[in-house]
Amino acid sequence: DALSEEDEQDRVPPQRLKLLGESEELRALLLNPHLRQLLLAIERAPDKGSLLRRLMREPLFVEFADCCLRIVEPPGKENVLPE
Per-residue confidence at 6, pLDDT binned at 50, 70, 90? low
pLDDT digits (tens, 9 = 90+) for 37-68: 999 999 999 999 999 999 999 999 999 999 99
Q: Quote the pLDDT of residue 13.
A: 84
What stretches of 1-83 show up as alpha helix (H) in DSSP?
5-9, 14-22, 24-30, 33-44, 48-55, 59-72
Q: Are 20 and 26 in contact (CB under 8 A)?
A: yes
The answer to whether residues 26 and 63 touch, using CB atoms and an 8 Å cutoff, is no
Spans of all domains in the chain = 14-72
